[in-house]
Structure 1
Amino acid sequence: MNKVQNQTRPVFPFTAIVGQEEMKLALILNVIDPKIGGVMIMGDRGTGKSTTIRAIADLLPEIEVVSDDMFNSHASDYDLMSDFVKERIQEGGNLSTHFIKVPMIDLPLGATEDRLCGTIDIERALNEGIKAFEPGLLAKSHRGILYVDEVNLLDDHLVDILLDSAASGWNTVEREGISVRHPSRFVLVGSGNPEEGELRPQLLDRFGMHAEIRTVKDPSLRVKIVEQRANFDQDPYLCIKDHEKEQIQLKENIILSQRQLPKVNIDYDLKVKISQICGILNVDGLRGDIVTNRATKAFAAYQGKEEVDIEDIKQVITLCLRHRLRKDPLDTIDSGTRVSQVVEDILS
């Protein structure tokens, strides 16, 4: 077998995943614009949640990082640099860089706050006068994807820390009067099974998008999914080679979309319609309006357009709003259906 093949564990190709279009679209849009705020994926067990998330991370182009920096700092984007790199630049030092795969970090359910945020070695700091910092998962996931499986079972305190870092783009660790901060910009992806409990509304609201996935019922689709998986398990490298062309095409589309995004415009009248929909649905706060505006622009960029239209809004607004609706125990209508009904009334 080829040596290169042995070096890394093969990942199921993103373009080989059958169905689950909602989840795939939400992940692609968050990769195009990480400021959308991540995605919560709720669905049945065995529906390919983890496989899809690992597949999108593997698909992404490599990123350039500063070589002797522990935070995956960008060499030229000031917002994505650690304070250490900024000081080096101010002092006129040279930065050596190299390319790495986009970080894909798993947060285990039993993780502690120190494991997530990082720790400061107080003894070394006091004895040697340096800030000895051991980076946590928030540092390692900078400019990548942070994945939390069964996020509804994660300790609320850790979820709060996660969401605060995702929103601010920074993580600060303080101990005994010593403080270390570093950039922590990542696409937060959570997944869970509704049978194991819902996330509290104020936490759910902090996720940019919410994708619901169900077990495929169509027998022919189920057979196709089983066959794809069997082919990959039998010969992963042949399966990857079979989908190489589609993988390259999608990667190029994502790169072009990221470049196109700053040029995309959304008309004032469409912004009013988005806010009108949020108002009719009694969505608390303005996060729903902001995320929908961002997501529609990312979707338009993905379509290669410079102007958002009504169809773009229709494609993404349910993903952005369904988890922000107030739950009525007596309501028999699914929240996604409620969003769709109002959207049709306002945008038809």
Structure 2
Amino acid sequence: MGRTSAAGQLALWVGRKGKGTARLRWADAELVLYVSGLQIIAAEGDDHERLAAAFGLTDGGEWFAEAAAAVAAGQVSQAEANAVVKRALSERLRDFLMAPDAEASFDSALPFEPKGLTISYPHLVMEMGLGPGGEDLVGVFLPDPALILRRLPDFPKRVGALGLTEEGMAILAKVNDQRTAQEISDPSPHGRDLALRLLAAAAGAGLVEAVSRVAETPLSTPPPRFGLAPRRRIWPRVALVLALVVGAALLLYFRPWEGAVVAGGGGPWAVAVDSGCQPAELERLYRRQEQDKANLRVVPFGRGEGQCYRLVWGHFPSEDAAKGAMAHLPSGVVARGFAPHIVRAESTSP
């Protein structure tokens, strides 16, 4: 992978907890963002007169201060002022991201203190990537789907703060510092394009970093050794034959070519074997689901801010059938300290 683009530099600076000033230049335009703790706390630059149209005459100063002044003067409500600034930021940031001559520079100077309005950079970019026209930003944030996605600091916490749907959480839970974007998006049950768009937006938002796969260096071939030919040994051959026999026996016993057996035969009832509410816990549940996708699935329960997730086992036609199976759960399927119980879980997860 070559030189990191200006869009990539900005995402990494924010994602690695950059604090200070980001100067974004393209064509004859400049946008200056003042960032602290993933939050844009101030902005300066040409806003294409969007603030002037909403707030009346302005002196071309700092955007957030202009919005605060308009609210204080009773020209607009706080919500309206926030929306104007956010829209102006989205438009100018998009212009920067799409510009072929975009450049970015950073320093630690932070002349503004957060007060009143702040805008989350990850939220802003995720909305840009998943909103109208977001497909145009996929190649900007993720120039090659063959790149490996590596988590940046506080990944579970940041993903949880986005308020994504269960489907979005499931896609991002696949990021494990080893899979490429293509390896995650191609088999996604939600569709390749949607998954790739979400992964690209995550890269642009500073949640993950796209890196090249490190090529394996072949071991150097030792120089040939000349001398007497070794005497033939029979034991290595005997060991090889024994290994083949054992391997064949294991194949006949486990029969991996046969489909996985669905516990219970099918139905809406299951045994809850694990649960969690936090992003990191949900990620653990999805990893466990991968171990036996025929019988394990993640299902939500609760509503709103109280929504959590269960990992359930089996597909039983009735509650009694599920209860009867509780005494015969596979070893290790119940999480340590978790009390298994019967639930009706008709929905399934990816």
TM-score by length of 1: 0.24
The structure with the largest alpha-carbon Rg is: 2
TM-score by length of 2: 0.24
Which structure exhibits the higher relative contact order, with contacts defined as CA atoms closer than 8 Å and separated by 6 or more residues? 1
Higher helix share: 1
